[in-house]
Structure 1
């Protein structure tokens, strides 16, 4: 892990001393939007029109934030419109690396080179995902929460997609549950793992498991976070849950209970894993290699555990609730209805 300072790479870990041992995540630096007509989005500047082949996505298969964008790219039928480069699992003294094959646009070795192509004097962390515009030669966004909303609808006039995981009538409810899950779960596991004082760790730990218990209760009564319809909030939670057993329980000391000890959360995770194409975006071995092999301040030896056995292909019990499962058949029906098929 490192960062750029005025365009120069520095290999430095997070400084938690100034925040009483707490890990504080910095906001994304590039916040432009791809829109259907190229008009400006909620933040940033305009000029980024949805076009086939124009955009390139940089991701890590280990990163839960990048994983969101891969799932949306799959569910919204964008695989042929937006190509992808996957970084190597290990993130060491040079940050995210592309490996011996380099990346396809510029033959770059490191992701920080992509950042400095967009802004030569960039200062900040070099994170994934990154959505790159080939036409303007710059980064559109490195904020996963924004990218998934672009993928949700901006390309619909090209793909014919009508699946909507950010439905207007649920905006307020989605934002509310997103905030809870981001603070206590998505970022909460990192606050546990990166804490450098006992008080900071226990504060994050208690908030994490308090919220997991509340979500377990919520999912005991309904299929998805907001009822019978899946939304982006479910994807945002899933990408943390799918890493919980293999990484966060041990590596980040989130060990009050395993996810398997929450039957509703566990089966909810299994259902989303079974959605059309989602399993293809999951790589548990890549994920373990990244966390255990890269984060030497937490795991100095770099030894990667062999387990656990996940059983991700086991049947789930969520069919006991009414709701829409995003199977291949469902997605095909959505696409056909959008074009009058």
Structure 2
């Protein structure tokens, strides 16, 4: 894990010494929006019109944040319109990289060796972390966004006029937006990012705080999903997919590697059934690669796992019956 400083690469782990042992995630630096007509979005500048073939997505199959975008690309029918390149699961001294012929593919646009070269192509003096996902504009030769929460909302509606896109699917309906935002806020801080706060903490008290917040929310989610089929009731929304990408990694990685070990997801009856139902929705299973997930975390994060041994287990069966059909 490293970062760019004025366009120069530095192999540097997170400095938790400045935060009392607490992990703090850096904010995304590119926050432009693709819109139907190219007008400015909620942040950033305009000029990014929704057009077929114009945009390219850089992802890791291991990363939960990038996984969100791959799910939306699949569910919305954007595969013919937004191309994709996948980095190798190992993220070592040079950060995310491409290894053609191995598990990580080729940079299909520029044949770059490292993802950081995409960042410096967009901004030669860039300072910040080099993260996935990245939404790239082939026309303007720049990064539109590296914020997954924004990218999935662009994919949700801005490309709906293109051929074959599922305009009938709206995962952020206007009537539910306030409720979705409220659930997202809690889940982001205590679950999505909460597992990292536990795993990357370097002081016992910070770890225990993150652990406590995580399982308080897991218990809250279990109760909520015991009463209703999805987080917003009877329909799948953005909130479900944002939670899914953490849940599907939990037992394989976060439970042991990040010491989030009060209990695995498989021990939560409602949450585990809910996870299986989402996994079994058409197209979703093809976006999940547990082998790459495990390899990334256990090999790349040597401050946590210095021997880089990847565990063989656990045995996971996301295809088992989910038992959720009877819930309203």
Contact 1:77 1:161 in 2 (8 A): no
Equivalent residue in structure 1 for 2:240, among 234, 255, 258: 234
TM-score (norm 2): 0.97
Match of 1:103 among 99, 103, 107: 107
1:22 matches 2:26: no
Query: Of 164, 171, 180, which residue of structure 2 is paired with 1:174?
Result: 180
> Do 2:76 and 2:166's aligned partners in 1 also have CA atoms closer than 8 Å?
no
Partner of 2:315: 309
Partner of 2:56: 56
The residue that corresponds to 2:118 in the other structure is 114
Contact 1:4-1:126 within 8 A present in 2 as well: yes
For 1:98 and 1:289, the matched residues in 2 are separated by: 15
SS of the counterpart of 2:227? coil
CA distance in 2, matches of 1:53, 1:210: 44
- How do residues 191-270 of structure 1 correspond to structure 2 at under 5 angstroms? 191-270=197-276
Q: Which runs of structure 2 are paired with 1:37-186 in the superposition (5 Å)?
A: 37-100=37-100, 102-158=106-162, 159=165, 161-186=167-192
Segments of 5+ residues of structure 1 without an aligned counterpart are 323-341
1:291 corresponds, among 267, 273, 297, to 297
Contact 1:190 1:252 in 2 (8 A): yes
Deviating more after overlay: 98-107 vs 131-140: 98-107
Deviation of residue 161 (structure 1)? 1.9
Distance 1:160 1:288 in 2: 32
| Distance in 1, Cα, partners of 2:18 & 2:91 | 24
Answer yes or no: is the 8 Å Cα contact 1:32–1:45 preserved in 2: yes
Per-residue displacement from partner, 1:190-230 (whole Å, max 9, x unpaired)? 00000000000000000000100010000000000011011
The question of whether the paired residues in 1 share the 8 Å contact of 2:255 and 2:264 is answered with yes
Q: Is the 1:32–1:43 Cα contact (8 Å) retained in structure 2?
A: yes
1:121 counterpart SS class: coil
Q: 1:160 to 1:274 in 2, by over 3 A?
A: closer
CA distance in 2, matches of 1:258, 1:170: 30
Question: 1:155 Cα deviation (Å)?
Answer: 0.6
Deviations 1:223-259 (A, max 9, x none): 0001101110000000000000000000000000011
Deviation at 1:100, TM superposition (A): 3.2
Describe the superposition over 1:286-314 as per-residue Cα deviations: whole angstroms up to 9, x where unpaired.
00000000000000000000001101111
- Report if aligned partners of 2:77, 2:166 keep a CA contact under 8 Å in 1: no
Q: In the alignment, which residue of structure 2 is the partner of 1:325?
A: none
Alignment partner of 2:36: what SS? coil
TM-score normalised to structure 1 length:
0.94
Output the aligned Cα RMSD: 0.7
How far 1:160 moved relative to its partner? 5.3
Contact 1:31 1:43 (C-alpha < 8 Å) held by counterparts:
yes
Task: Please say if 1:35 is aligned against 2:44.
Answer: no
Count of residues in Structure 1 that have an aligned counterpart in Structure 2: 322
